[in-house]
Amino acid sequence: MHMVTSQVETVTVYRRGAQVTRLAEIPQPAQGWPRQLRLDNLPLAMLDNTLSARLEFPQGGGGLVARELRVELESRHKAEPTNPPELAQIHHELLALQKQLERLNGDIAKMQKLEPGTLVLRATQAPQGFPLRARRAVVELRQKTLGAWLPRRRQLEQRLEELQSRLYQAPASQVPVSLELSKSVLISLHSKPDAQASHLRLLLSYQVEGACWVPGYSLRFDRDCSLADLELRALVCQSSGEDWTNAKLSVSTAEPERWTEVPQLASRRLGRRQVQNTPGWRPLPPQSEALFSDYDGVPQTPRAIHREDFGPRPPYLSDLQIVAVALMSLPPEVSALLFKELSPDHVRELTLQVSQLPSIPPAEREAACGFVAGRGQNLELLVVRKSEVVVERFHQLLASQRPAVRERPSTRLEPVFQCRVSNDICDLMEDRSSGASSPRKPESIVEYRVGPLIPERSPLAGRRYSRELSQEQLAFDLLYLPGAGENERGKLLPQSPVEASLRRWKDRDSVPQARQILADAQRQGDQLLRKAPPLGYHPPGPVQSQDWLYPGQARVTIRGDCSYHSVPILRRQLPAVLHWLVVPKVTHDVFRRVELECPADLALPAGPVDLFVGSDYLACVELAPVAAGEAFLLDMGVETGVRVARRPTFQEQAAGLMGGTLQLRHEIHIEARNYLTRQVRLQVREPLPQASEGSDCKVRPESQWDSLEGGAGYFCWLSLPPGQRAECRFSYFIEMSNRLELVGGNRREK
């Protein structure tokens, strides 16, 4: 076994969780490549079923294959704390107070129920003497006892709170923890006969849950506000149990535990309609016999069973899957007869295939059995009567290994066989593969994943291990047979690599403490995900149903202290167009607005933006989600160098043939003056009164201004040279019957 030192190379922080990749540079030892590599000091929050490894050969060569990953739990004892007697005394007194307070509460509850009883007489009985003295003595005893016990309970509660506060405020070095845990990974290497590699690069990837990020922006304009430097900064917080030192950081709006299915897109053909060929006889092309020369050159082997004897082939199953489904459909004792006739290589291939089987409908399962046994044949009876026929059929299918004719519509695979059948198959595979000839492992494997191959919720859902036949059940060192006093006795159950490590520990007294440390590490990650982001920041989300990845440009260091750290991610230059806006009917303040366009290869999630003009801080505004290539506006505050004045006039007149219509004409005169040293392009907006639905009033504009979206008002543009002024006019009519009057007066502008 060769010890390997690794460091964090790349980190991708998702909305919830992170993907960590460690890098280890391994030169070839003098005695040759070892069979196992060991990486230590991995975090406890690592999700074991997301572990993967990749081998690279930077100096050329090859021939090394990673065949197995195994997670183990390591422990080392720490020195005793500096002052354990004080904490032990606090714990002892705390337990004694809790017991004393519990007994006192029980006595108080019993005393409060103590009341003088009432005498119940029947209708035929005469009244008896009333024992007033005895009843008074009971009431006095209750009052006297409660008067002494209630203050005593308050004293105990105050003392209990004081001890709990002292225990909470105790330094971390005083907490009696005598065990330190960490995870390690064992990687099994297989060297081919022609292996030639002088240097090996190992990339180990895993996921952790205790990490999150929120986006923030910094936007710096030049003095003319014609160009802006946009900087995306990520506030990253992590409690993975390790520090990410000098790592390449990337952030993503995706969520690994979210299940997403690829949509099935319907294909459509555009263009002219093609003329369909009429079916019929056509002569063969010239020299067509040469196409069959290779086929005729292969010697034909006689077959006892012809293909015409079998039923239709299941379209969604390959030949290897057909054999696996047929074996799983048989009783365990019948499958045992067939497994004994197969080679260890075929046993391993079939067992691996069983772990990847999707949900098989009953009709498809019957079709697979019929394709193996033949038309009108019962597969189970055929195995008992003529097992050699079924074995020969299995060998034919295993030798051909044709793929499925069609792809299964659903892309989400779910195991169908339960533990009862899976245990029998595992026992059979263990018996067959433990003989003299060890099972052959595929030579092309360069990546191996620990955990369920088919998860319950998503491809990256962690912490829970499936109870169905999976890749863990095929790893016999992780199977566990419960004892006499445990549940599910007599069944081989899968367990996590950490649980397997705990069961192998010789120090059984430290196992409960180790479980508590693991639970605390997981709880710390859950608490971080529930932690509220800083004020004004929002968790990142998809932009128009699309998730984005933002690679960082520099290496950073982020400590696992549950605090937010600001990290620069990317920087872009955006063209900017500055204009001014005023609504003089509402306020005479002129507002600056800048229009920016997002690049086509970049989308921006929602977050706060710090605005700078040169080196001067201007304001902090909120940015809504911006899609790729989309233009967006940002408000830059009030402009004091532009003044606007508004003067309305009103005229009332009769209209119509008989003078039955009343016209209320409003004219607004707007004047703007520019005191800046640059030209100003000012947008003037004027809202209109809105008539209620079904009203006889009509509002009609007279000026040729452009309409706002929704028709709530109109606007025009004014060009103001430096130190100059400009004006514009806007008028509109309100028409109604002369018998009516507007609420609040006909004059709408004052």
Within 8 A by CB and 6+ apart from 336, the residues are: 428
| Mean of pLDDT over the chain | 78
* Cβ–Cβ < 8 Å for 562, 528: yes
Q: What percent of the chain has pLDDT over 70?
A: 79
**Six-digit token pair at 227?**
């160009």
pTM of the model as a whole: 0.59
Strand-strand pairing, 199-208 and 18-27: antiparallel
DSSP per residue over 525-545, as a string? HHHHHTSPPPTT------BTT
Which amino acid is it at 429? M
CB atoms within 10 A of CB 223: 9
Total count of residues recorded for the chain: 750
Assign 467 a pLDDT band (cuts: 50, 70, 90).
very low
Name residue, tokens 């003095």.
Answer: 223
- Domain extents in the chain: 300-444+452-484, 642-737
Which amino acid is it at 307? R
- Helix (H) or strand (E) run with residue 520 in it: helix 511-529
Name residue, tokens 């772990």.
Answer: 355
More confident residue, 717 or 662: 717
More confident residue, 263 or 573: 573
Over residues 519-523, mean pLDDT: 85
Q: Does 619 score more than 70 pLDDT?
A: yes
More confident residue, 548 or 93: 548
Beta bridge partners, 68, equal 188
Q: pLDDT tens for residues 374-396?
A: 766 777 777 777 777 888 888 88
pLDDT at 643: 93
pLDDT at 124: 63
> Exposure string (b/e) for 234-251, b if CB count within 10 Å is 16 or more?
bbbbbbbbbebeebbbbb
| Lowest mean pLDDT segment, chosen from 20-34, 142-156, 441-455, 497-511 | 441-455
| Lowest mean pLDDT segment, chosen from 288-302, 576-590, 712-726 | 288-302
Nearest CA to 252 out of 214, 289, 288 is that of: 214
Over residues 37-57, mean pLDDT: 90
* Cβ–Cβ < 8 Å for 189, 38: no
Q: Which three-class secondary structure string do you get for 462-495?
A: CCCCCCCCCHHHHCHHHEECCCCCCCCCCCCEEC
CA dist list (Å): 111 to 97, 101, 134, 157: 21, 15, 17, 19
Which amino acid is it at 535? L
Greatest mean pLDDT among 71-80, 457-466, 546-555, 733-742? 546-555
- The domain 642-737 is classified under which CATH number: 1.10.3470, 3.90.930, 2.60.40, 2.30.29? 2.60.40
pLDDT at 127: 58
Within 8 A by CB and 6+ apart from 340, the residues are: 432
Over residues 590-598, mean pLDDT: 93
| Lowest mean pLDDT segment, chosen from 177-186, 209-218, 550-559, 636-645 | 177-186
CB-based burial label for 258 (10 Å; 0-12, 13-18, 19+)? middle
* Cβ–Cβ < 8 Å for 42, 184: yes
Nearest CA to 256 out of 188, 192, 209 is that of: 209
Q: Which three-class secondary structure string do you get for 226-267?
A: CEEEEEEEEEEEECCCCCEEEEEEEEECCCCCCCCCCCCCCC
Assign 120 a pLDDT band (cuts: 50, 70, 90).
low
Q: Does 112 score more than 70 pLDDT?
A: yes
Q: Does 168 score more than 80 pLDDT?
A: no
Q: Does 174 score more than 70 pLDDT?
A: no
Q: How far apart are CA 700 and CA 714, in angstroms?
A: 12
Over residues 694-719, mean pLDDT: 84
pLDDT at 388: 79
